[in-house]
Amino acid sequence: MSTDPGADLRNLLHDSLDDLQPPTDLHRGVIARGRVARRRRRALTIGGGVAALAVGAALVVPLAAGGGGDVDTAVAGDPSLSTPSQSPSQSPTPGAETPSPAGPSDGTEGEAYSPPPGWWDAPSDELLADLEDLLPADVTVRKADTKSEGYDGKPIDGVGFVRATLDSPFGPGGFEILLYPPEGDEVPGAPYRSRLSCPGNQARYDACTVLRDENGERIGRVSTTTPGDITIHEVALLGPDGGLVYGATANSTDEKWGGTSAPSGTLPPLRAPELRDLVEDETWTSYQP
Amino acid sequence: MGARERDEGGAGADAMTHDEQFTEFMAGCSRQLYRTAYLLTTSPHAAEDLVQTALVKSYVAWRRVRRADDPVAYANGVLIKSFLSDRRRRSSTELPLADLPERPPSSTEDPADPTDRVALMTALARLAPLDRAVVVLRFWEDRSVAQTAADLHLSQAAVKNRSLRALRTLRGLLADPTTIPNGSPS
């Protein structure tokens, strides 16, 4: 018996990856993004006092915009509104046990982008209730996952996502919706541009349409992919304040969807236009943190 | 301020020195970072994103990275923590969704056995992200149980349990990839 219980896996890992080469354009944009992030960090460090005021304003404006308050009053409002006791960002959320976007202390903490609180922080249990309300009459939730995994491996209440198995006339299928906070300043260019273009961040697609607003600006993408025996519809749509709503459905109930996935129905539970209608519903972006 | 500007990449020639140093560093460590990221994310596109995120963070912290005993190990640590930070959303398949390794890469770009890699990545994708991180740290990076526990904020017992569970799952999946179970392993 081997003294190394993982020798076979260790060998397999190395045999499988030893010849793997990174993409030739892997470094593209890294230094440019690094410069932007560094400037932002400097501005936050050097202008600490100014930054504190800016944080106050940033908290006030969403309150005014989302709550129907007086913007003039809010912008010029009492800086005390930014005190921790009134700042949603200071309150622990169900997902707070999950590592923050900035990550654990790794020596770069404070340099990484930390998104502001927003509709993307909606509790997953609430999103599930929203989903049940918004689904077409002949589509129902069979089961759903609204939990994340904490550091200790135990489930914790999730925020900003729902994964579900849906029942429909086409058979059961998978569904998920994810709410993304705005990208940080360190990501240059238009927000979420890789997810709003064709192919963008997709390895491939069978159909892909960019959605634009009346000014011609990209605001979303609808795409369909057919890896193997399954069909996947995806919709990404920019929301208020720079966030993104992403929805996807497939005729597979596998955890991951790909060419090896087994079809669970003849078609996804939602057609692409139905998925688009669902993702475009304002319910997803209505949560007030 | 001269030294500070030089260290932090001020304008002009000093900035070029900083960027040149970092460019050289990237060239030297990218392959290792990419392979680790590939195992963690099981997706070439997500791996690329993860490496770029780790490199941007390393660029910002270049002074500290450069001073580290092993700058590549430092950047690798940033990469793993970035993965763990983002694991909930990534585990929800948004990005890997359409780019799980369904097809063997062409032999011209990849002389390794593509079947092995596809099977391995498909099996790894079935693990919970934290279990995958344990596998990568223990069996790819050869870290000890104690080191892995410290890096992942787990107890040593938890690392051992997760490691054994992951090994058992992977062996089962790799022995017969056609019986990959539905849902996350438990």
Backbone angles phi, psi at B87, to 5 degrees: -65, -30
Say what the pLDDT of residue A60 is: 30
Say what the pLDDT of residue A184 is: 67
| Mean local confidence (pLDDT), A155-179 | 92
- Segments making up each domain of chain A, as ranges: 11-97, 119-285
Name the strands in the sheet holding A173-180, side by side, starting at the edge strand that comes first in the sequence: A140-145, A161-167, A173-180, A244-250, A232-238, A218-225, A207-212
Cβ <8 Å between B120 and A262: no
Note down the domain range covering B147.
110-180
pLDDT tens string A77-104? 222 222 222 222 222 232 323 323 333 3
End residue of a domain, out of B71, B100, B123: B71
Residue A153 falls in which region: left (phi positive, over 0), alpha (psi -120 to 50) or beta: left
B148, B80 Cβ separation under 8 angstroms: no
Answer whether residue A249 shows pLDDT above 50: yes
| pLDDT band of A188, cuts 50, 70, 90 | low
Q: Which residue has the higher pLDDT, A164 or B119?
A: A164
C-alpha B87/C-alpha B24 separation (Å) is 29
Q: Which of A116-125, A215-224, B29-38 has the highest mean pLDDT?
A: B29-38
Q: Is A111 on the interface with B (CB under 8 A)?
A: yes
By Cβ distance, the residue of A151, A203, A258 closest to B45 is: A203
Q: Hey, what CATH class is A119-285 in?
A: alpha beta
B93, B184 Cβ separation under 8 angstroms: no
Say what the pLDDT of residue A17 is: 86
Cβ <8 Å between A22 and B56: no
- Residue spans of chain B under pLDDT 50: 1-15, 88-111, 179-186
Backbone angles phi, psi at A285, to 5 degrees: -110, 20
- The two three-digit tokens of residue B84, written as one number: 């763990």
Say what the pLDDT of residue A68 is: 27
Number of domains in chain B: 2
Q: Which chain A residues are within 8 Å of B93, Cβ to Cβ?
A: 176, 248, 255-257
pLDDT tens string A2-52? 466 778 888 888 888 888 888 887 887 788 777 776 665 554 444 433 333
A57, B147 Cβ separation under 8 angstroms: no
Angle between helices B13-41 and B71-85 (to 10 degrees): 50
- The two three-digit tokens of residue B53, written as one number: 């995120």
| pLDDT band of A278, cuts 50, 70, 90 | very high
Q: Which chain A residues are within 8 Å of B75, Cβ to Cβ?
A: none
Q: Is the residue at B59 inside a domain?
A: yes
Cβ <8 Å between A103 and B82: yes
| pLDDT band of A176, cuts 50, 70, 90 | very high
Distant-in-sequence, close-in-space partners of A84: CB < 8 Å, separation ≥ 6:
A90
Q: Which residue of B has its CA nearest to A99?
A: B85
Cβ <8 Å between B85 and A102: yes
End residue of a domain, out of B41, B71, B101: B71
Helices (H) and strands (E) in chain A, counts: 6, 9
Cβ <8 Å between A27 and B64: no
Answer whether residue A69 shows pLDDT above 50: no
Q: Is the residue at B131 inside a domain?
A: yes
Q: Which residue of A has its CA nearest to B37?
A: A22
By Cβ distance, the residue of A102, A178, A258 closest to B100 is: A258
Q: Is the residue at B104 inside a domain?
A: no
Q: Is the residue at B9 inside a domain?
A: yes
By Cβ distance, the residue of B56, B102, B126 closest to A30 is: B56
Q: Which chain B residues are within 8 Å of A15, Cβ to Cβ?
A: 112-113, 116
The H-assigned helical ranges of B42-70 are 44-60, 62-67
Lowest-pLDDT range, A64-68, A160-164, A192-196?
Answer: A64-68
Q: Which chain B residues are within 8 Å of A173, Cβ to Cβ?
A: none
| pLDDT band of A63, cuts 50, 70, 90 | very low
Lowest-pLDDT range, A137-141, A197-201, B79-83?
Answer: A197-201
Say what the pLDDT of residue B117 is: 80
Sign of the Cα pseudo-torsion (A46, A48, A51, A53, in order): negative
Cβ <8 Å between B98 and A148: no
ipTM of the complex: 0.71
Residues B116 and B64 both lie in one domain = no
| pLDDT band of A124, cuts 50, 70, 90 | very high
Got the DSSP string for A126-158?
A: HHHHHHHHHS-TT-EEEEEE-EEE-TTS-EEE-
Distance from CA of A77 to the nearest CA of B (A): 34
